[in-house]
Structures are given as C-alpha cells and as structure tokens.
Chains A and B, each alone.
Chain A
Amino acid sequence: MAEPLIVARQLVKRFGEFTAVDGIDVEVQPGEAFGFLGPNGAGKSSTMRMIGCVSPVTSGTLRLFGMDPATHGSQIRARIGVVPQLDTLDVEMSVQENLWIYGRFFDLPRAEAKRRAAELLEFAQLTDRAGSVVENLSGGMKRRLSIARSLINNPELLLLDEPTTGLDPQARHVLWDRLYRLKQQGVTLVLTTHYMDEAEQLCDRLVVMDQGRIVAEGSPRDLIERYSTREVLELRFSAGTNSDSITGVHGIGDRQELLPDRVLVYAHDGEAALAEAHARGLQPESALVRRASLEDVFLLLTGRSLAD
C-alpha cells in the first residue's frame, strides 16, 4: 500500500482553555475521498486548518507527504489546494484575474497560469463569466470559482471545508458533480460537512466527530450497517401528543427515538413495524418508511441530530 498522504496521531488543538480537537487519529491514502462529519463545533474546521498548515498543532503528530507542518508548512502548502469555509476571493477583480493572481502566489509562470486558468474556467463552468467581476456572481458560482482557484497549482490533495453550505440544492449538485470528476482524476479529497447526503455522495471513508473526538469511522455503508437498522419508520403525531406517543411504539422494531417533531422507529422491516403500530391502534398523522442514513448513525452515536 502506498504511503498515506496524511497521518495524524493523537492530534490535539487547544485555544486557551478550550479544546477544539481532542486527540484524534486519522490516516488518508492517496486517491481517497475522506470526510469529517459532525455538527458545528465538533472540531472539523480546526482539524482542517491544522491539515492545511495554517494552524499550529498543539500536541500529537501530523505529517503530510511525510513532512511536518511546523517545519515545512510552505512546502506542504505548495502541494495542496484549499477551499475555505468562507470564500477569500478578490471580489473586486474579475473571475479570470482571480485565477491568474492566485497562480502568482504559487509562482507559476504567467503563461502557465493563464493556460491553467482557461482550463479551470471550463471545468468550473465559468468560461462565459471569465470577465465578470466576482462581486456579481451567485453563491454557487463563487464556490465553483473558489474550487477552480484552489486547483491552480495542480494539488495532490484538495481540502474542502463545508463546500456546499449555504447553496441551493441545484448548485450543490453541480458542485458535487465537479468534485466527483476530480476524484476520478486521482485527486485526494478531504472534506468536512454536516450534510449526510453530501458525505454519502462523495466520501469513500469518513469519521464522525463530536466534541473534538472521533466517535466512529468507516465507509458510509459500513457505518449505516454497523450502527443502524436497514430501515427507519418515521411517525408524525398531531401537535402536542408526540412525546406521549413514544410509549405507544415501545417494543416495536429494535429501537425508538423521540425527536421534537416526530418519532423514529428503527426496524429491519419498516412496513412490518408500521403494520404493528396500526395494529396497536396508533393513529399518526403521517408515516414514512425509508432506508437508514448517516443521519441515523449520527443520532445514535451522539444522541443529537445534526441540525442542532
């Protein structure tokens, strides 16, 4: 097996008294799409910033391409691309100027930067907006430009911190498609997200983080199989009776979960669980049987839903 691109051992990040990352172990192989999944404040972004060599490690070891960020930050950053949570685009410059100038930071020769920029504009589907000032672009376009810009140096590793947060569903799908292409071209992707569907779509492997620690690791399918039942029955009861209904479903399926707006029943066979609920005389306003998702895994592992 090839040497891992990223190796973290007992990685810790503290800000004063606050521990943002509390001793995590991570390995990412070349060509992998790896995800950090967790709610806000779980320590995902702090971890990403350490990997991006823009935040010193408090303790533990971190190596990228076998190098230590503390001593080789600049050399490592030359080989990675970063799409930060907040765009850092030059909003007063045009789309193509943003790419050219970012190439300058990597000391690309001018002609090379222009050639790369033209390719990346095609890739990001922004060619017809090449001369537009960034300020006037939509959120999705800005995000695509951020990704294009992060690729100007042909990075071996691309870090994406919540790449689709705040985008509408269509813009998200366009972005996923672009990231999927990169993955096919052999780029190692490391991303954070608090969207389950994003993690399921993009990640070969992921870790679930909660309060600075890793609480589970595996492929999306692994995690669902390991921590959840195959199907989930969602029951909605009329307002105010939701919390009383949990006693009614007790014993149906493997496990029951009370959420503020609905009751979840984890069962191998969702339809059978629904039939049993009806047989007990329960009268939910609506009922839905669905396949288990990472959201359910997260709920089980942390006792909280990701939306919190």
Chain B
Amino acid sequence: MDAPVHTPGTAAAVHHRRTPGALRVLSWHLAAYRRLWKVNVLASFGQPLLYLLGLGVGVGALVDKNTGSSEVLGSSSYVAFVVPGLLVTTAMALAAGESMWPVMGGLKWHRGYHGIAATPLEARDIVLGHGAWMAVRCGLATGAVAVVLAVFPDTRSWGLAPSVLVSMLVGVSFAMPIMAFSVGSEYDGAFAGIQRFVIIPLFLFGGAFYPLSQLPAAVQWVAKVAPLWHGVVVARGFTSGNVDWTGVAGHLSFVALWAVAGTAITIRRLRGKLYP
C-alpha cells in the first residue's frame, strides 16, 4: 500500500512506441463497444433483414410479375436489386446516428474528448479515430448482414464482399460531415432534423429500393449530390456482376470527397472547441 506508486518522469523514458493517434482513439471506441455489442449486433442484423423480408418478398413478388420491370431493374429479381441498397443504407443510417449524439456526448456530456485532449493526442487523432471507428462499425454491421444474405441462393453473390467495403466508405462519407455538424452544434435538437430531412429522404429517394430514373430530374440531381446513390450504384454493379471500373472510380472518388471534406472541417472545428 505504501510502496511508492510513482516515479515521476519514467514513462517518457520507458516507451518509444509510436502507435498512430487515430488507432489509439479507435481502441477506446472498441473498448466501449465491447459492453454493447450483443444488443447492437442484433439491431444491426434485425432491421435490414426485416426490410429485406418486407420489401424483397412482399413488394418483390409484385414487382417481378410486372411486365417490363426487369428492364428497369437490369434483368435481376427485385430482391437481388434491393440487396446492395440495403447494405449501403444500413451503413448510412448507422454512421449518421453514431456521429450525432455520441459526438456531442464526447464534447459536452461525458466529455471524453476533453479527457483525450489532455493527453499527447489532439483533435486530429479524435476525428480520424472516429472515422476509423465508423468504418469498422459499418463493416461489422453490413458484414453481418452480408453473411446472412450469402445463405440464400437468390441473394448469394461474390459481389457482397466488395459491397461491404463500399458500405464502409459510404458510412464514413456520412459520418464525417455529420460529425462536423455535431461538433458545431450547441444543442442536440437539430439531430432529429438531420434524421428527418436528410437521412430518411435519402433512404427513400436515394436509389436504394428502385432506380433513380423513376424520379423527376430535379429530385435525381438532389439525390446525386449526396454520397448514398453513388455507393449504391457501385455496390449494385458488384452484386449484379456488371462492373464498370471507370464508373466505380468516379463514384467512389465522389464519395471519398465527402469523407475528406467532412474530416477537414471537423478537425478545424474540434480544435477550436477543445483548445479555446
């Protein structure tokens, strides 16, 4: 008990490790997640599979009977058409939610970000760590769904694997701009607005459940500004086996642009908040 617990200054001498700051922050997220993962995984599985059952089987039965529909859907069954949309929207919704309240919590409620800011780490590490965490989290959630989808012949495809990677990127492309918004917000009231006026409309009108060409041109343009549709198109290319690599590069660059811009803005804003 009375043995010295402390020999000041020995820590700096002891270690010469240089784990990137973002990975140290990532392990913080993982440690917190370990307590929650069971509940979380169930939710991440359950919701997309419910959608798949409801839309794929119910609506799908109707759609597939409709003459001419296979042309619009690229000669696939409706279930096969919906699968990539389901993966990518799952990542979008998850990353958006995880970049609102938890981010505000880190700054204002449990103040974990301030704890990190007092260590050698800084705003950049927190932001990049959040991005890495969102990639992992979206990978876990969509990966689990992909595993289930691979069980059924109708939805089984090698394209599921790259689609999970695309979902991770789309998740990050939503996480970072929304994190920038959350860091700049004083109250959590606006978060419900983001859910209602950005995430749900994109879910419904982002090309996940029917081709964007079904919508008026103006709405199509709005949907194309957001990263979701680009991710869905690429993932759908993979699952249907019609991969246009130039298109993939173009779409994914656009998605990545959102992620990079969001990251840059968040780092600047968070620095101002943590080190006033």
Contact = CB atoms under 8 A, between A and B. Distances in A.
Interface in A28-77: 52, 54-56, 73-75, 77
Contacts of B54: none
A86 interface: yes
Contacts of B275: 54-56
B14 A88 contact: no
A304 interface: no
B24 A107 contact: yes
Contacts of B35: 92-93
Nearest to B23: A104
* Candidate in B6, B112, B121, B275 with the most chain A CB atoms within 10 angstroms: B6
Contacts of A52: 118
Contacts of A154: 6-12
Contacts of B11: 78-79, 106, 108, 153-155
A123 B5 contact: yes
B98 to A, nearest CB: 15
B119 A90 contact: no
Interface in A137-164: 151, 153-156
A239 B270 CA distance: 54
Contact of A78 (B1, B7, B112, B120): B120
A84 interface: yes
Interface in B155-214: none
Contacts of B18: 107
Contacts of B1: 122
16 contacts: A54-B114, A82-B118, A89-B115, A90-B110, A91-B110, A92-B110, A100-B31, A101-B28, A102-B115, A106-B11, A107-B15, A107-B19, A153-B11, A154-B9, A154-B11, A185-B5
Contacts of B117: 54
Contacts of B5: 119-120, 122-123, 151, 185
A108 B13 CA distance: 11
Interface of A: 15, 52, 54-56, 73-75, 77-79, 82, 84, 86-93, 97, 100-102, 104-109, 112, 119-120, 122-123, 151, 153-156, 181-182, 185-188
A93 B115 contact: no
A107 B23 CA distance: 10
Contacts of B276: 15, 55
Given A105-B119, A109-B15, A155-B11, 13 more contacts: A15-B276, A74-B121, A82-B118, A84-B118, A86-B114, A88-B111, A90-B28, A90-B110, A102-B119, A104-B24, A122-B5, A156-B9, A185-B4
A182 B6 contact: yes
B50 interface: no
B15 A90 contact: no
Interface in B89-112: 110-112
B144 interface: no
B119 A106 contact: yes
Contacts of A123: 5
